[in-house]
Amino acid sequence: MPPDLRDLHATLDAAFEEAIQPSIRSKEPIGVLFSGGVDSALLAWELRSRPGVLLSTMGREGSPDLRAGEAGAAHFGLPWERVALDDAVIVRSLDRFSSELRGLSSLSRAILLSLAIAIEGATPDRLVCGQGVDELFLGYAHYRGLSESEAARRSREDLTRLRETDWPRTQRIAASLEKEVVAPYLAPSFESAATRVPIALRLPGDLPKRFFREWAVARGLPPELAHRPKKSLQYGSGVDALLRRLPRPRP
Out of 45-59, 76-90, 228-242, least confident range = 228-242
77 conformational bin, left if phi > 0, alpha if psi -120 to 50, beta if neither: left
CATH of the domain at 121: 3.40.50.620
Could you tell me if residue 153 is inside a domain?
Answer: no
> Residue 105 is which amino acid?
S
Count of domains for the chain: 1
Answer yes or no: is 144 within a domain: no
4-39 pLDDT, tens digit each: 889 999 999 999 999 999 999 998 999 999 998 999
Rounded percentage of the chain residues whose pLDDT exceeds 70: 94
Selected residue with higher pLDDT from 174 and 251: 174
CB 129 within 8 A of CB 115: yes
In-domain check, residue 173? yes
- Taking CA atoms, 244 is separated from 50, 57, 106, 233, 236, in Å, by 39, 21, 10, 15, 14
CA of 22: how far to CAs of 26, 40, 65, 128, 170, in Å?
A: 6, 17, 27, 11, 20
Q: Give the span between the Cα atoms of 246 and 90, in whole angstroms.
A: 9
The number of C-alpha atoms within 13 Å of 156 and in the hemisphere containing its C-beta is 7
- Residue 147 belongs to a domain: no
Q: Are 116 and 93 within 8 A, CB to CB?
A: yes
pTM confidence score: 0.91
Sequence letter at residue 61: E
- Residue 139 domain-assigned (yes or no): no
Instruction: Assess if residue 120 is contained within a domain.
Output: yes
203: nearest Cα among 131, 154, 132: 154
Coil, strand or helix: which one is 31? strand
Q: Give the separation between CA 46 and CA 23, rounded to whole angstroms.
A: 10
Cβ-contact 93, 117 below 8 angstroms: yes
β-sheet bridge partners, residue 58: 83
Is 104 within the bounds of a domain? Answer: yes
Contacting residues for 246 by C-beta, under 8 A, at least 6 apart: 87, 90, 91, 94
User: What is residue 179's predicted lDDT score, i.e. its pLDDT?
Assistant: 97
Long-range contacts of 223-228 (CB under 8 A, 24+ apart): 224/75, 225/36, 225/38, 225/41, 225/45, 225/72, 225/75, 226/38, 226/41, 226/42, 227/38, 228/36, 228/37, 228/38, 228/41, 228/68
203, part of any domain:
no
What pLDDT sits at residue 229?
73
Q: Residue ranges of the alpha helices (H) in 26-63?
A: 38-47
| Residue among 46, 58, 52 at smallest CA distance from 31 | 52
Domain range spanning residue 27? 3-130+163-192+213-240
Q: For the ranges 88-92, 114-118, 133-137, which has the lowest average pLDDT?
A: 88-92
